[in-house]
Chains A and B, each alone.
Chain A
Amino acid sequence: QVQLVQSGAEVKKPGASVKVSCKASGYTFTNYYLHWVRQAPGQGLEWLGLIDPSSVSTSYAQKLQARITMSRDTSTSTVYMELSSLQSEDTAVYFCARFKWELGGFDSWGQGTLVTVSS
C-alpha cells in the first residue's frame, strides 16, 4: 500500500534552516507529484509547494519562494523540503502528500513532522 514516512520532529533556533524528508513506498515514485503542506498550531492548512519527482521541476508558494527548496532522490524514493531563515511563525506540523491528478486532490499523506522554532 502507498506509504509516505516523514523524518522526526525538529527544534531550531530563529535564523536556522530545517530539512524534512518524506520517503515514499508502495507505488512508482516518479508517477505522482508530491506536495508539502503545513499547519501552524490551531490554524488551517497552508500549501508550501510541489515537486515533480520525474523531472525535478518545482513550484513554490509565492510568500516562501525566497526561503524554500524542494528536492528528491530517486534512488531512495525520497523528497526533501528545506526551509531557511526560520522564524517563530514557521512553527508548524509539516506534511508531505501525494497528489493524484485523476482525483484533483491528495490521496495519501505523511504522518507529519513538527518543526518548532524557538530561541
Chain B
Amino acid sequence: DIQMTQSPSTLSASIGDRVTITCRASQSISNYLAWYQQKPGTAPKLLIYKASNLKSGVPSRFSGSGSGTEFTLTISSLQPDDFATYYCQRYNSYSLTFGGGTTVEIK
C-alpha cells in the first residue's frame, strides 16, 4: 500500500501568515492527489484536486503544487476561517489513502 506522510502534524500561525503543509508519498503517484479541509463535527471539504487545481468556490489564497512523491498545500494569507485540520489524499482505481492530517492552530 502507498503511504502518505504529512508534516507538520500541528502548526501554530497568526492571521495573515503564509502557511505551507507538506505531503509525501511512499512511491510516485503522479498528480493523483487531493487536499481537504475539515472542521470539528463536519465532513471534510475538497479544496484542491489533481495536486494543483483549485475546486470551484474555494478561495484563491489556497494553492497546491507538486507531483510524483512530494506535494504542498499553501495558504497565502491565513484567515480566521482557515483554522482547521487539513488532509492530503491519494487515489487510484481500487484504493485510496489519506495523510495523517495537519491541524492549523491560532498562535
Contacts and interface: CB of A to CB of B under 8 A. Distances in A.
Nearest to A62: B1
Contact of A45 (B1, B44, B50, B53): B44
A106 B44 contact: yes
Contacts of A104: 32-34, 49-50, 91
Interface in B67-107: 87, 89, 91, 94-101
Given A105-B89, A106-B34, 20 more contacts: A35-B96, A44-B98, A45-B36, A45-B38, A45-B98, A47-B96, A50-B94, A59-B94, A62-B1, A103-B49, A103-B50, A104-B32, A104-B34, A104-B49, A104-B50, A105-B49, A105-B91, A106-B44, A106-B46, A111-B43
A54 to B, nearest CB: 14
A10 interface: no
Contacts of B98: 37, 44-47
Given A44-B98, A45-B87, A105 B43 contact: no
Interface of A: 35, 37, 44-47, 50, 59, 61-62, 95, 97, 99, 103-107, 109-112
Contacts of B49: 103-105
B46 A45 contact: no
Nearest to A111: B43
Question: Is chain A's binding surface mostly helix, strand, loop or mixed?
Answer: strand
B34 A44 contact: no
B97 A47 contact: yes
B55 to A, nearest CB: 7
A105 B98 CA distance: 11
Contacts of A97: 43
A110 B46 contact: no
A106 B49 CA distance: 10
Interface string B32-54: 11101010000110100110010
A45 B95 contact: no
